[in-house]
């Protein structure tokens, strides 16, 4: 049995958290060839949860392990699972290189150290 179809649900991958999510779009093969799986990832886009934080004035810090990363691209970076949200004004002072970015990758221990400094 062929599980392929000519219609698929579009997904994007959040470059900050790495999760795939549905965009709400349907994709259709114009020649009606059965070539699609149920979901098709088409690229990178901020997920609604992370976009909401960005719109509220936060910068996303994502801890990565460079030694385990293939390269420094959204698909090649190895995320450790540690994520923090920092007000943009504070991030500009604490991490000056992050200015103008929606999210930044930080090395192991940075988020833990920031939490210690804040006392959380």
- Percent of the chain whose predicted confidence (pLDDT) is above 90: 56
Is the pLDDT assigned to residue 48 strictly greater than 60?
A: yes
How high does pLDDT run on average in the chain?
88
Q: What is the pLDDT of residues 4-44, one digit of tens each?
A: 777 788 899 999 988 999 998 888 777 777 777 778 788 99
* pLDDT score recorded for residue 120: 56
Q: Using 50, 70 and 90 to split pLDDT, how confident is the model at 46?
A: very high
What is the secondary structure of 28-73 as a DSSP string?
A: E-TT--S-B-SEEEEEE---HHHHHHHHTTEEEEEEE-GGG-SSSS
Percent of the chain with pLDDT over 70: 97
81-84 contacts: CB < 8 A, separation 24 or more?
Answer: 82/111, 82/112, 83/16, 83/17, 83/111, 84/60, 84/111, 84/114, 84/115
Instruction: Check whether 74 has a pLDDT greater than 90.
Output: no
Please tell me the total number of residues recorded for the chain in this structure: 120
Asked if residue 56 has pLDDT above 70, the reply is yes
């Amino acid at each position: 049995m062929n599980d392929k179809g000519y219609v698929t649900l579009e997904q994007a991958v959040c470059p900050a958290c790495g999760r795939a999510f549905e965009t709400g779009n349907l994709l259709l093969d114009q020649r009606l060839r059965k070539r699609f799986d149920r979901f098709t990832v088409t690229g990178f886009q901020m997920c609604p949860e992370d976009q909401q934080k960005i719109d509220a004035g936060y910068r996303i810090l994502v801890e990565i392990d460079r030694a385990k990363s293939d390269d420094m691209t959204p698909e090649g970076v190895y995320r450790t699972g540690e994520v923090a949200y920092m007000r943009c004004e504070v991030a500009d002072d604490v991490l000056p290189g992050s200015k103008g970015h929606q999210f930044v990758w930080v090395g192991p221990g940075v988020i833990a150290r920031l939490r210690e400094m804040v006392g959380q």
